[in-house]
Amino acid sequence: MAIGKIPLIWLLGLALAFGVAAAAPAQASSSSSSSRVSRHYDFFIREANYTRLCREKTILTVNGEFPGPTIFARNGDVVFVNVYNQGDKNITIHWHGVDQPRNPWSDGPAYITQCPIQPGSKFTYRIILSEEEGTLWWHAHSDFDRATVHGAIVIHPKRGTAYPFRKPDKEIPIILGEWWHRDVGQLLGEALSTGSDFEPSDANTINGQPGDLFPCSSDSAFRLPVEHGKTYMLRIINAALTTEFFFAIAGHRLTVVGTDAAYIKPFTVDHLFIAPGQTKTVLLKADRGVGHRSNDTYRYYMAARPYATNPIARFDNSTATAVLEYVDAPPAIATPPVMPFLPAINDSAAAEAYSVRLRSLASDEHPVDVPRHVDHRMLITIAVNEIPCAPGDLCKGPRNNRVAASLNNVSFEMPSTAILGAYYRSVLGGVAKPDFPDKPRVEFNYTSDDLPLRFTARDTRVKVLEYGAVVEVVFQDTAILGTESHPMHLHGYSFYVVGRGLGNFDKHKDPATYNLVDPPYQNTVSVPKAGWAAIRFRAANPGVWFMHCHFERHMVWGMETVFIVKNGKAREAKMMPPPPNMPRLLGRADGVWGEGRGRAMVLAHPLRTHRRAGPCASGASRELGRQGDFPSVHGCKAPMLSPGEAKGLGEGAVAPCNKMLDLVDWSAGDHQQVGSALPQSSRRSTPPSGTARRLTASSQ
Ligand SMILES: [Cu+2]
Interval 59-71: pLDDT, tens:
999 999 999 999 9
Superfamily, domain 376-573: Cupredoxins -  blue copper proteins (2.60.40.420)
| pLDDT at residue 333, as a whole number | 64
| pLDDT at residue 630, as a whole number | 26
Choose among 240, 236, 350, 342: nearest CA to 282. 236
| pLDDT at residue 329, as a whole number | 66
pLDDT above 60: residue 174: yes
CA 79 to chain centre: 18
User: What does DSSP say about strands 29-31 and 71-74: parallel, antiparallel, or unpaired?
Assistant: unpaired
> How far, in Å, from the CA of 473 to the mean position of ligand 1?
16
> How far, in Å, from the CA of 518 to the mean position of ligand 1?
26
| pLDDT at residue 7, as a whole number | 38
> How far, in Å, from the CA of 379 to the mean position of ligand 1?
16
State the pLDDT confidence band at 332, using cuts at 50, 70 and 90. low
> How far, in Å, from the CA of 152 to the mean position of ligand 1?
23
> How far, in Å, from the CA of 103 to the mean position of ligand 1?
27
> How far, in Å, from the CA of 551 to the mean position of ligand 1?
5
Rounded Cα distance, 127 and 77, in Å = 8
**Burial of residue 50 (number of CB atoms within 10 Å: 0-12, 13-18, 19+):** middle
User: What does DSSP say about strands 299-307 and 320-326: parallel, antiparallel, or unpaired?
Assistant: antiparallel
| pLDDT at residue 649, as a whole number | 53
Residues near ligand 1 ion, CB 5 Å cutoff: 486, 549, 551, 554
> How far, in Å, from the CA of 48 to the mean position of ligand 1?
30
Please, which residues have CB within 8 angstroms of residue 189's CB and are 6 or more apart in sequence? 610, 612, 613, 614, 615, 616
Rounded Cα distance, 28 and 424, in Å = 32
State the pLDDT confidence band at 15, using cuts at 50, 70 and 90. very low
pLDDT above 50: residue 645: yes
Please, which residues have CB within 8 angstroms of residue 644's CB and are 6 or more apart in sequence? none
Intrachain domains 32-163 and 167-360 with the same fold: yes
Neighbours of 448 (CB within 10 A): 12
pLDDT per position as a tens digit, 575-612: 999 888 787 654 333 333 222 222 222 333 333 333 33
> How far, in Å, from the CA of 242 to the mean position of ligand 1?
9
> How far, in Å, from the CA of 187 to the mean position of ligand 1?
18
> How far, in Å, from the CA of 215 to the mean position of ligand 1?
31
> How far, in Å, from the CA of 513 to the mean position of ligand 1?
25
Q: The CATH number of 167-360 is which of 2.60.40.420, 2.60.120.10, 2.130.10.10, 3.40.50.10740?
A: 2.60.40.420
> How far, in Å, from the CA of 383 to the mean position of ligand 1?
8
| pLDDT at residue 295, as a whole number | 72
Q: Where along the chain do its domains lie?
A: 32-163, 167-360, 376-573, 584-683
Q: Mean pLDDT throughout 244-264? A: 97
| pLDDT at residue 331, as a whole number | 59
| pLDDT at residue 581, as a whole number | 78
Determine contact, residues 390/451, Cβ cutoff 8 Å. no
Q: What percent of the chain has pLDDT over 70?
A: 77
3-state secondary structure 288-313: CCECCECCCCCEEEEEEEEECCCCCC
127 residue type, one letter: I
pLDDT above 90: residue 665: no
pLDDT per position as a tens digit, 182-237: 999 999 999 989 999 999 999 999 999 999 999 999 889 999 999 999 999 999 99
Determine contact, residues 100/57, Cβ cutoff 8 Å. no
> How far, in Å, from the CA of 487 to the mean position of ligand 1?
6
Any idea of the CA torsion for 685, 688, 692, 696, to the nearest 10 degrees? 0
> How far, in Å, from the CA of 244 to the mean position of ligand 1?
11
> How far, in Å, from the CA of 313 to the mean position of ligand 1?
12
> How far, in Å, from the CA of 526 to the mean position of ligand 1?
9
Rounded Cα distance, 60 and 576, in Å = 32
pLDDT per position as a tens digit, 74-121: 999 999 999 999 998 899 999 999 999 999 999 999 999 999 998 888
Backbone angles phi, psi at 20, to 5 degrees: -65, -40
CA angle in degrees (0–180, nearest 5) for 538-539-543: 155
Q: Mean pLDDT throughout 404-421? A: 94
| pLDDT at residue 283, as a whole number | 98
Please, which residues have CB within 8 angstroms of residue 548's CB and are 6 or more apart in sequence? 412, 488, 489, 554, 555, 559, 560, 561
Instruction: Fold for 32-163, please state it.
Output: Immunoglobulin-like (2.60.40)
> How far, in Å, from the CA of 311 to the mean position of ligand 1?
14
Alpha helices, H only, 558-597: none
Please, which residues have CB within 8 angstroms of residue 686's CB and are 6 or more apart in sequence? none
Rounded Cα distance, 638 and 511, in Å = 49
> How far, in Å, from the CA of 486 to the mean position of ligand 1?
4
pLDDT per position as a tens digit, 476-505: 999 998 899 999 999 999 999 999 999 999
Choose among 622, 527, 134, 546: nearest CA to 361. 134
Largest CA distance in the chain: 90
> How far, in Å, from the CA of 58 to the mean position of ligand 1?
28
> How far, in Å, from the CA of 276 to the mean position of ligand 1?
10
> How far, in Å, from the CA of 440 to the mean position of ligand 1?
17
Q: What is the mean pLDDT of the chain?
A: 82
pLDDT above 50: residue 676: no
> How far, in Å, from the CA of 405 to the mean position of ligand 1?
8
| pLDDT at residue 298, as a whole number | 87
pLDDT above 50: residue 171: yes
Residue-wise DSSP of 166-204: PPPSEEEEEEEEEE-SS-HHHHHHHHHHHTPPPPPPSEE
Question: Where are the extended beta strands (E) located within 539-629?
Answer: 543-549, 560-565, 600-605, 608-611, 621-624
State the pLDDT confidence band at 296, using cuts at 50, 70 and 90. confident
State the pLDDT confidence band at 294, using cuts at 50, 70 and 90. confident
Length of the chain: 700
> How far, in Å, from the CA of 648 to the mean position of ligand 1?
41
